[in-house]
A and B are shown apart, each in its own frame.
Chain A
Amino acid sequence: MAMAAQDIESAILAALPGAVVDITDLAGDGDHYAAVVTASQFAGLSRVAQQRLVYNALGGRMGGALHALKLTTIPA
């Protein structure tokens, strides 16, 4: 199973409106991505809480359909 970069981006944007999402397909296989997410919603949150917002945006797909996502969160 894999997930298209565009689907990842739109899922994140739907949950975090106004966020800036930069996705790189690390292995070119549609299954190993790096995402840098910059969002005002992260302000004041711990790193764990910031990443949880992104994981929640992806629903149950993280760790399932989406195997590997190297995630960097940046408060805007």
Chain B
Amino acid sequence: MSNPVHDRITTLVTSNDVVLFMKGTPFFPQCGFSSTAIQILERLGVGFESVDVLADPEIRAGIKDYSDWPTIPQLYVKGEFVGGSDIMIEMFQAGELQALVAEAGIASQA
């Protein structure tokens, strides 16, 4: 039953408080949606781990099943799938993303 890619993803999302699966890197996002997600995380001021799915085809294919979500970027907080960039924008504008991070006990570095 064990799926090695899913095991890798589980390790990634549980060993880091905040993980963004994205296209490209925080410095050079390769897609507008990933760029938006990075801007939100920077405004949020939390440390995060990013995973470039373009550099890791196995993760790119596996994350869509893992999350039951067809698009990239994908945000995880404390091992839980939060959403893609549209949801990140809505939650940030509503103050919900800030609350989620605060409740998770993740310190803002801003």
Interface residue ranges, A against B (CB under 8 Å): 47-48, 51-52, 55, 60, 62-64, 68-72
Number of interface residues of B (CB under 8 A): 16
Measured between alpha carbons, how far is A63 from B70 in the docked complex, in Å? 6
**Whole-angstrom distance from the CB of A69 to the nearest CB of chain B?**
8
Question: Which DSSP category, helix, strand, loop or mixed, fits chain A's interface?
Answer: mixed
Q: Tell me the minimal C-beta distance from B74 to chain A in angstroms.
A: 10
CA A52 to CA B64, docked complex, whole Å? 12
Q: Contacts A68-B33, A72-B86; is A47 near B70 (CB within 8 Å)?
A: no
Given contacts A48-B69, A48-B81, 4 further A-B contacts (CB under 8 A): A48-B83, A63-B64, A68-B33, A69-B71
Interchain CB contact under 8 A, A55 and B86: no
In contact, A47 and B69 (Cβ under 8 angstroms):
no
Known contacts A63-B70, A63-B71, A68-B33, A51 near B81 by CB under 8 Å: no
